[in-house]
Amino acid sequence: MQAMMMNRPLLISSILDFAAEQHPNAEIVSVRTEGDLHRQTYRQTAARVAQLAHGLEAHGVKLGDRVATLAWNGYRHFELYYAISGMGAVCHTINPRLSAEQLIYIVNHAEDKLIFVDTTFVPILQAVKEHLPKDTRYVIMTERAHMPANTLDALCYEELLDGKPETFDWPEFDENTASGLCYTSGTTGNPKGALYSHRSTVLHALMVCLVMGQTLAEGKKVLPVVPLFHVNAWGLPYTAPLIGMSMVMPGGALDGPSVFKLMDSEGVFSAWGVPTVWQGLLVEVKAQGRLPKEFAQVVVGGSAAPRAMIETFEKMGVGVNHAWGMTEMSPIGTHGVMPRWVMEKPFDQMINYKSKQGRRAFGVDLKIVDDNGKLVPHDGKSMGELYVRGNTIVSGYFENEEASKKAVDAEGWFGTGDIATITSEGFLSLQDRSKDLIKSGGEWISSIDLENLAVAHPAIASAAAIAMPHPKWDERPVLVAVLAPGAEKPTLYEMHAHMSEQFAKWQLPDDIIWVDALPLTATGKISKLTLRQQMSDYKLPDLR
Ligand code: AMP
């Protein structure tokens, strides 16, 4: 029997309409490329988004067209999210840290009709313009007075809005219409496009409201350090307006002192970003001997949050939510809100749970399988490749038949490429990317675990564990490390002493290689691919 309920399409335009009506005075506060701090409410934002949609229409943007952004976190970028998707076009966020080759590939692949660009990134486009589609137009995201000299024959963002009506009749269409496009990066081969829909985006926003509840609160402020160009800033531009939170947009100033200053002056309650950013913030917190005012919640994801970092935050009274996900998952897969029985455990044990990658969000199914595709038990010990299924997960890649075929298994589960264990209570523990696991003498060593313990040593600022070929053991781990400011280099044997409580002797690294900085991917994660390339001539010491 069919139910008798309405079936309204889930559309992104409804989110901002709702925020403008229900949370009209919550703000978007932005550090602008113009150099000042800018504020506007959701009500003002909705009016400007309508003007922008008229501007896009005037430039011929139609349903299904791809319109790209190359920008920091700021109110104009937020406006583009809603104007482009709201009118039925596809908001293609481009990561400015991509190599020129990748940038050329994705703009041509996406066939972007317009590219909106922050003044900062104009030189990037100028350098590759000859290789981009001839009819792509460019819009610089500033006002006339700040337009830089350029060879892009670019339009001016504010002129696109000037004089346009402050309302727009948002069209109604199928909720499965594409709304956003984000290419994966940091992998080998060409980037692959995750093509989100209105339905998946709205469902994801609702899911985040549900599972990240502790880190969200009406009337408070949230800081997405995670960029709007990387998986929709983990959905915050959709979640914050629903909740009625003000958003504090940091622009390009992502170093510890700048983030501290902004959080402190704005009284940010909750901040979201990758571990490298929090490492920088914690150095500043230590230097100042205090936390930024009102800072109470931190969401860490994108790479494993080191245990030492979680412990430091929690000891200072900042609740840590360690989440896991990926571009192909919109991105949230798991969240780190702890059940009461974990919070009642002694501090150390509670931190052990928080160091895992959390539990699945409602709507995301998880399974782990062995090399033959056979299910592996959720016993907290058995490792397998992690597969996921749900309404916020891709079913393939944009215009890429070959990659689409490989993306999902026969039962429709998406293969994440992550190796994990899951406990009987549902806690996910990521061991590695399948290609980063270290196999020594037929046994696996988790590079994530090695790194985690290494950075808990006070002399180590950051570290990566990678496999090096070994004639007898196949592979042996080595640690590539950055020394903490002012610290003395520990010897390999001192590091072994530090790590041997948690690791068997054979799992300990054979060498420490000191570097000034670790190479990062376009999304700010340590690039093991580049590290391995840099170390292709390296020879292991003869320890074993
Ligand atoms: P991206 O699509 O660039 O967001 O990268 C997704 C990948 O980042 C995942 O498949 C994981 O390998 C890694 N990742 C994301 N969150 C975490 C986390 N909390 N701990 C460890 N790895 C993570």
pLDDT in tens, 229-277: 999 999 999 999 999 999 999 999 999 999 999 999 999 999 999 988 9
Residue 51: per-residue pLDDT: 98
**Would you say residue 98 has pLDDT above 90?**
no
**Would you say residue 516 has pLDDT above 80?**
yes
Rounded to the nearest whole angstrom, what is the distance from the C-alpha of residue 207 to the centroid of ligand 1?
Answer: 19
Alpha-carbon distance of 521 to 303, in angstroms, equals 11
pLDDT, average across residues 286-312:
95
Residue 396: per-residue pLDDT: 97
**Would you say residue 384 has pLDDT above 70?**
yes
**Would you say residue 186 has pLDDT above 80?**
no
328: annotated active-site residue: yes
Q: Is 303 in the pocket of ligand 1 (CB under 6 A)?
A: yes
Residue 252: per-residue pLDDT: 94
Alpha-carbon distance of 240 to 221, in angstroms, equals 9
**Would you say residue 187 has pLDDT above 70?**
no
Alpha-carbon distance of 299 to 5, in angstroms, equals 37
Residue 188: per-residue pLDDT: 60
Q: Is 324 in the pocket of ligand 1 (CB under 6 A)?
A: yes
pLDDT, average across residues 42-64:
98
Pairing of strands 137-140, 114-117: parallel
Q: Is 521 in the pocket of ligand 1 (CB under 6 A)?
A: no
Residue 490: per-residue pLDDT: 95
523 or 13, greater pLDDT: 13
Residue 276: per-residue pLDDT: 85
DSSP states along 158-187: HHHHTT--S---PPP--TTSEEEEEE--SS
Residue whose C-alpha is closest to residue 143's, from 170, 107, 119, 125: 119
Alpha-carbon distance of 358 to 422, in angstroms, equals 10
- Ligand 1 atom having least distance to the Cα of 334: 19
Rounded to the nearest whole angstrom, what is the distance from the C-alpha of residue 303 to the centroid of ligand 1?
Answer: 5
**Would you say residue 42 has pLDDT above 70?**
yes
Residue 348's pLDDT band, with cuts at 50, 70 and 90, is very high
Residue 440: per-residue pLDDT: 86
Residue 20: per-residue pLDDT: 98
pLDDT, the chain, mean: 95
Rounded to the nearest whole angstrom, what is the distance from the C-alpha of residue 360 to the centroid of ligand 1?
Answer: 14
**Would you say residue 3 has pLDDT above 70?**
yes
Cα 304 from chain centroid?
12
Residue 277: per-residue pLDDT: 92
Which two tokens mark 290? 């205090």
374 HSE (CA, 13 A, CB side): 4
pLDDT, average across residues 342-362:
98
Alpha-carbon distance of 273 to 285, in angstroms, equals 16
pLDDT in tens, 137-149: 999 999 999 999 9
Residue 117: per-residue pLDDT: 98
Long-range contacts of 404-409 (CB under 8 A, 24+ apart): 407/328, 409/373
Output the residue whose Cα is nearest ligand 1's atom 5. Answer: 326
Residue 119's pLDDT band, with cuts at 50, 70 and 90, is very high
**Would you say residue 494 has pLDDT above 70?**
yes
Residue 64: per-residue pLDDT: 98
Residue 437's pLDDT band, with cuts at 50, 70 and 90, is confident
pLDDT, average across residues 442-465:
90
- Ligand 1 atom having least distance to the Cα of 329: 2
184: annotated active-site residue: yes
Residue 159: per-residue pLDDT: 98
Q: Is 269 in the pocket of ligand 1 (CB under 6 A)?
A: no
* Range in 86-90, 268-272, 284-288, 540-544 the model is least confident about: 540-544
444: annotated active-site residue: yes
Residue 509 is given by DSSP the state -
Residue whose C-alpha is closest to residue 53's, from 142, 114, 117, 130: 114
- Ligand 1 atom having least distance to the Cα of 300: 19
Rounded to the nearest whole angstrom, what is the distance from the C-alpha of residue 301 to the centroid of ligand 1?
Answer: 7
Phi, psi values for residue 298, rounded to 5°: -130, 135
- The domains found in the chain, sorted by start residue, are 13-353 (3.40.50.12780), 356-433 (2.30.38.10), 442-534 (3.30.300.30)
Token pair 């100042």 in the structure block, residue: 288
pLDDT, average across residues 405-417:
94
